[in-house]
Amino acid sequence: MKTHLSVVVLAAGLGKRMRSDLPKVLHPVAGRPLLAHVLDTARTLKPERLCVIYGHGGEAVPKTIGGADITWVKQEPQLGTGHAVLQALPHLDPEGITLVLYGDVPMTARDTLESLLGKAGPQRLALLTVDLPNPHGYGRIVRHKAGTVTAIVEEKDASAAQRKIGEVNTGIMAVPTRYLKDWLHRLENRNAQGEYYLTDVVAMAVKAKVEVATVQPAHDWETLGVNSKAQLAELERIYQRQQATRLLDAGVTLADPARLDVRGELTCGRDVFIDVGCVFEGRVNLGDAVRVGAHSVVKNALLGEGSEVLPFSLIEECETGRRCRVGPYARLRPGTRLADDVHIGNFVEVKNSQIGDKSKANHLSYVGDATVGRDVNIGAGTITC
Ligand code: UD1
Ligand code: CA
């Protein structure tokens, strides 16, 4: 943990290639806005100041994200990444380090940021870099023969030789705030894009004899950003693959780790089985030996030990006891509480009802706002409301 840590998240960009009316940083990965993922990770670092630069999309961004701990700073017009961080300067703690993150790069691991911050210091700037087989479009890390970093050169400003460099700037950096304040005021925009480049602080650091260190992430995907729907979809798959790996490591059996979507927090007991095509949203807890059948959606629910969901069921804001059987084609709506050994069968909808031990509604019924005792058999075609 760093004391006097300030975090600045850049989120003012347009995201034209998303071809959407929704501001880019509000597009979801795993059901949550890109920016929310970045903020989650930032908060684990316990920064003194947390500042988000927004612009395109206007007030929709702060309105959607909220967060009492965030200082929202509007950047208008958007004159480059250096200009973006400049807007945050009055809000940064002059002591300590400023960490710059991108609102459209949602998967950077906390450990990676910790090690980046570990490298930064009062006289040291730290850059997160990656080696890419195809570095096209990125700023290149230019090093002196001895290996020390001398500058970052943007693709559009790079010489043919510099374009051959495979080590690129991810954009994420940790800079001693005192120096940052000085350097940002001195940025110029005489470059191919006419922008104020944050990356120019690297050459300034070299001039000021501030050391420039580099750190690489454990996985390249940690630094992937989103500029298009294709990249958004790609990140979603990587994210979901991580979730699946986490579940497998915890002992959950997945019929196919590539056909599972977790949009929230899924916790499982021992010997849980999940068939293909299931979606879990919000907070879901599956007890020991729970089985979830193919193509079911479970949202904010707790399924008790040994319960089984048969295919094509939708379960939302419910709790079941032990050994319940739900589905196929069942719908449990908010406020449903099943006790132990309850059976809810095909085309049965239950809303805001308590159903006692060993009771059954096996076919084609609507059970709404009901309190059903033990050992009750609700016959086909029954409606309560
Ligand atoms: C930037 C880096 C480049 C790096 C690349 C990694 C600079 C000059 N270049 O280039 O070295 O390889 O990221 O993806 O920093 N933003 C604002 N306000 C602005 C401009 C940008 O908030 O005025 C935000 C964008 O929303 C985005 C991020 O900053 O989240 C990066 O901006 P972008 O224009 O994508 O930078 P690149 O040109 O890709
Ligand atoms: Ca970019």
74-118, pLDDT tens digit by residue? 999 999 999 999 999 999 999 999 999 999 999 999 999 999 999
Which residues participate in catalysis according to the annotation?
363
Query: Quick check: 1 pLDDT over 80?
Result: no
User: Closest Cα to atom 27, ligand 1: which residue?
Assistant: 13
User: Closest Cα to atom 26, ligand 1: which residue?
Assistant: 13
Tell me if 199 CB under 6 Å of ligand 1.
yes
Span 330-370, pLDDT tens digits: 999 999 999 999 999 999 999 999 999 999 999 999 999 99
pTM here is: 0.95
Query: Quick check: 43 pLDDT over 60?
Result: yes
Distance 209 CA to ligand 1 centre (A): 26
Query: Quick check: 293 pLDDT over 60?
Result: yes
User: Closest Cα to atom 8, ligand 1: which residue?
Assistant: 197
Tell me if 154 CB under 6 Å of ligand 1.
yes
The band of 2, judged by pLDDT with boundaries at 50, 70 and 90, is low
Ligand 1: which of 14, 73, 81 to mutate, most ligand atoms within 8 Å of CB?
81
Tell me if 34 CB under 6 Å of ligand 1.
no
The confidence score (pLDDT) of residue 314 equals 98
- Kindly give the number of the ligand 1 atom that is closest to the alpha carbon of 55: 22
Span 201-236, pLDDT tens digits: 999 999 999 999 999 999 999 999 999 999 999 999
Span 168-208, pLDDT tens digits: 999 999 999 999 999 999 999 999 999 999 999 999 999 99
Arithmetic mean of pLDDT over the chain: 97
DSSP character string of 22-49: S-GGGSEETTEEHHHHHHHHHHHT--SE
The confidence score (pLDDT) of residue 57 equals 86
Q: Any idea what the Cα angle at residue 271 is, between residues 281 and 353, rounded to 5°?
A: 50
Tell me if 33 CB under 6 Å of ligand 1.
no
User: Closest Cα to atom 19, ligand 1: which residue?
Assistant: 80
User: Closest Cα to atom 13, ligand 1: which residue?
Assistant: 171
Structure tokens at 339: 């006790």
Tell me if 128 CB under 6 Å of ligand 1.
no
Rounded CA gap, 167 and 132, in Å?
6
Distance 100 CA to ligand 2 centre (A): 14
Query: Quick check: 283 pLDDT over 70?
Result: yes
Tell me if 84 CB under 6 Å of ligand 1.
yes
